[in-house]
Structure formats: structure tokens, C-alpha cells
Chain A
């Protein structure tokens, strides 16, 4: 199992450019997530998906879009990049928790370091 893979590893964008960060998981997880981590800060949830065709906003969705056409893939789109989007982006996936005291951890990809200048 490759787990969660992300491409590219690094990217420099100019202000106003667009790009798509790719994320793929091979663990057949229903749930997928996008986080950003700013220097010295914890991870913040951008968007999440509970299954193919279903996505929802997290804490910091502005300036981003997502889609989920398959179980495996969850790309994150940046439109009109801004310096405030300079960050490290992590994709994660997990099984849904059945509740009743049983919860499943999230598995993280290696991250994409994005700089917008």
C-alpha cells in the first residue's frame, strides 16, 4: 500500500495563478480531508469529503475548491493564488467512525509546500 500520496512536493506560484494539488489514497477510505499548516501553527481543515460526489467546507475554505469523482482521488484547486495561501498542504484519509466509542485515525500524505509570490 502506498497510503496517501500527494503531488507536487513543492510549487512556486505567482499571484493570480491557479493550480491543482493532487491527492490519492489506496486504502479504500471513504473520508478524505485537506488541511493547511502555516508556520508555527496547527493544521486547519480546508475541505473534506465523506464519499465520492460529496464534499463540504471546513474551517478555512475561502480561495479553494474541491471535487471527489472517485473514492481514491481528492484534488484541491486554488483559483487566483494569493500570498496568504503560502503554506504546507496535507491531504488525509480515514474510515468513517461507527461511533459507540470506536474511532479511526486519519492517515496523512507527505504534504505539498506551496509558495505564492
Chain B
């Protein structure tokens, strides 16, 4: 059975701290790994990682995929209260065309002022 596991489940940090969120997976027919940020409403897309070892960056957020270890990390530096959210990891699997996403349960991040 496909499995995506995120850790930690929840995390409280102070503004300015750096955090690392983890995602490991056991999924057949892996295509890519995605990170989403979920605040009150819909998940919003952060990164898609397809190749191992290539870091993707967007401002203070960065992510990297390790296909050998079947895992990915999401780093957030100099955290701000606006980073408080649930961070979802999802693995895309399947053949060309239809993209099935298998989601982890998420990491709930709270950044305190």
C-alpha cells in the first residue's frame, strides 16, 4: 500500500528560527513529490521535485528530494508568523496524463512572535 509519512506531526518555533520538515514515501510508480502550504482554506502549491539532489528555492523556503532515501525535506529559514500553517507533502504517481496524488498527514507549524 502506498504510504507518505511526514514528521514531525506538529512543531512550535519562535520567529526567526529555522525549521526542517521531513517527508518519506513508499509509493509505486513514483513521478514527483510536491509540497503544499495549507492555511485556513485550500492547499497552495509550493514546490514540485522530480530529480534527486536538485534544490528548489523560493524566498526563505527551499526543498530537496533524495530518491535513494525515498525522502524530501522542506526548509524554512528566518521563520515569520505568516509561515504558520499545515505543510502537506504529496507524491505524484501513475502513468502519463493522470496524476494521482498520495498525501501525507501534514506537519502543523506554529511560529510564535
Contact = CB atoms under 8 A, between A and B. Distances in A.
Interface of A: 4, 31, 40-45, 48, 50, 58, 90, 94, 96-99, 101, 103-111
Interface stretch (B14-22, B57-65, B69-77, B103-111): B103-111
Contacts of B104: 42
A97 B45 contact: no
Given A43-B88, A110-B41, A103 B32 contact: yes
B105 A90 contact: no
Give the interface size bracket for B toward A.
20 to 34
Contact of B103 (A43, A94, A101): A43
A23 to B, nearest CB: 12
A104 B103 CA distance: 16
B50 interface: yes
Nearest to A94: B99
24 contacts: A31-B98, A31-B99, A40-B105, A42-B4, A42-B104, A45-B100, A48-B98, A48-B100, A90-B42, A94-B99, A96-B99, A97-B96, A98-B96, A99-B95, A99-B96, A103-B31, A106-B45, A106-B99, A107-B45, A108-B42, A108-B44, A109-B42, A110-B42, A111-B42
Contacts of B96: 96-99
Contact of A43 (B44, B98, B101): B101
B43 A90 contact: yes
A38 to B, nearest CB: 10
B113 interface: no
Interface of B: 4, 31-32, 34, 36, 41-45, 48, 50-51, 88, 90, 92, 95-106
B60 to A, nearest CB: 20
A103 B92 contact: yes
Interface centre among A41, A97, A99, A107, by most chain B C-beta atoms within 10 angstroms, is A97
A104 B99 contact: yes
A42 B43 contact: no
Contacts of B43: 43, 90, 108
Contacts of A103: 31-32, 48, 50, 92, 99
Contacts of A111: 41-42
